[in-house]
Amino acid sequence: SFHRAERISRLEISEIVQISEQAAALQAKGRDVVSLSTGEPDFPTPPHVIEAAHRAALAGQTRYTATIGTPALRAAIAAGAGVAVADVIVSTGAKQVIANAMLATLDPGDEVVMPAPFWTSYADIVSMAGGRPVVVPCGMEAGFRLSPSALEEAITPRTRWLMLNSPSNPTGAIYSAAELRALAEVLERHPGVWILTDEIYAELNFRPFTRFTDAAPGLRDRTLTVNGVSKAWSMTGWRIGWGIGPAALVKAMAAVQGQVTSGACSIAQAAALAALTGDQAGLATRREELRARRDRVVAALQAVPGIDCPSPDGAFYGFPRITGAMAATGHATDAEFCRWLLLDHGVALVPGRAFGLSGHLRLSFAYSDADLAKGLSRIASAVGAR
């Protein structure tokens, strides 16, 4: 009979995927369902990027690349970050960068501190690698950000990593330079703790963004910066992400990658190179479009009784508190509330509990204006109609 390995005993299909699949199943049955549930830009991949991929394929870039990434792409990433090429690894999405790092460094029982709400995969990847997620709740009053004192309290002799994500999925929160420096001060006192800073939404910012390594250059020798083309360049399907960190870590991550994928897709790496080195004008256009959507989404949600939506600083998610609306509509949990919105009102959203903070939901505004308007008016009439 089928044996499920201990290492994935706590792994379940992500609630985000489950909801998207449920929404798609309802749509297939002819139901009118608006999905605002996935973290994928609705903008197309820029045409010059697609052309670069086409050219690369025709020119014969169709073979295995170096496991760690093509020299050209690594050089472009290194130049952008002001680091040596040896400090850069290219992987099959930012997700694989994180998985490589955890598989390369965690021993059973090692702890990884993560402020909640966090991107769901952090906890699952850590568990799969044999580590233990240590979740630090950072609620709306704290601006969804980790405080130095909460960090200090969470660190134990078993702590291997702190995972930071700015701008955040699911809250859009951005840590200021001063906030990062305050966290760095705590970390200075704990030389065994490494920092994974996931900056995949860095370009999608509506207020100034500071890289962790710029705020805390003294910690570079134990910081892994994660980034990729999925979000800012609308390239989720190309599966290119990268890690920037000390060469010894990068080498260990490459050893993992060598036994899992042999390296990222050659054609997608050529495309990512074009995204990073080509015309950047589209980036600003997409950012401003998202900013306009953010403003409309926040205004619409704030107008709904029992929903309180702080304005996100970046990325493309709203993470409103919905406890008032849950109570008013007779739902005990955010999951029940979201299920009701999907089944009875045709709008798919993700409950906060999927991100480690209940009493909220995540609404992605990486959707067309028409879908957003429809979804928002359904939420308003569902909650208001009771």
Q: Which residues bind ligand PLP (CB under 6 A)?
A: 39, 93-95, 119, 165, 169, 198, 200, 228, 230, 236, 241
379: Cα separation from own chain's centroid: 25
* 213 vs 230 by CB, closer to ligand PLP: 230
**Strands 241-244 and 132-137, bridge-based pairing:** unpaired
Residue nearest to ligand PLP (CB): 93
Pick the closest to residue 144 from 294, 364, 355, 367 (CA basis): 355
Q: Which is nearer to ligand PLP, 111 or 199 (CB)?
A: 199
* Residue nearer to ligand PLP on the CB measure, 211 or 378: 211
Q: Of 39 and 69, which CB lies nearer to ligand PLP in the complex structure?
A: 39
From the CB of 101, what's the least distance to ligand PLP, in Å?
Answer: 12
- Tell which phi-psi region holds residue 239, choosing left (phi > 0), alpha (psi between -120 and 50) or beta: left
For the bound state, the minimum distance from the C-beta of residue 105 to ligand PLP, rounded and expressed in Å, comes to 18
CB of 169 to ligand PLP, least distance (A): 4
Q: Which is nearer to ligand PLP, 172 or 375 (CB)?
A: 172
Please tell me the distance from the alpha carbon of residue 383 to that of residue 386, in angstroms, as a whole number: 6
Query: What is the nearest approach in angstroms of ligand PLP to the Cβ of residue 337?
Result: 23
C-alpha angle with apex 303: 294 to 298, nearest 5 degrees?
A: 10
Segment holding 363, helix H or strand E: strand 361-364
Q: How far is the CB of 6 from ligand PLP (least distance, A)?
A: 26
What sign has the CA pseudo-torsion 195, 199, 202, 207? negative
Alpha helices in the chain (DSSP H): 15-28, 47-58, 71-81, 94-105, 121-128, 148-154, 177-188, 212-215, 247-260, 266-277, 281-302, 323-328, 334-345, 369-384
CB of 167 to ligand PLP, least distance (A): 9
In angstroms, how far is CA 44 from the centroid of its own chain? 19
**What phi, psi does 158 have (nearest 5°)?**
-90, -5
- Residue 371 token pair: 């879908």
* AA identity, residue 231: K
Nearer to ligand PLP, 93 or 375 (CB): 93
Q: Which residue, 236 or 257, has its beta carbon nearer to ligand PLP?
A: 236
Minimum CB distance to ligand PLP, residue 95 (Å): 3
What separation in angstroms does the CA of 385 have from each of 220, 302, 304, 375?
Answer: 53, 16, 11, 15
Q: Within 13 Å of residue 33, how many CA atoms lie on the same side as its CB?
A: 25
**Closer residue to ligand PLP (CB): 179 or 198:** 198
Q: Find the shortest distance in angstroms from Cβ 122 to ligand PLP.
A: 8
Q: Which is nearer to ligand PLP, 52 or 240 (CB)?
A: 240
Please give the single-letter amino acid code of residue 138.
C
Helices 369-384 and 334-345: crossing angle in degrees, nearest 10, is 110
Shortest distance, CB of residue 198 to ligand PLP, whole angstroms? 5
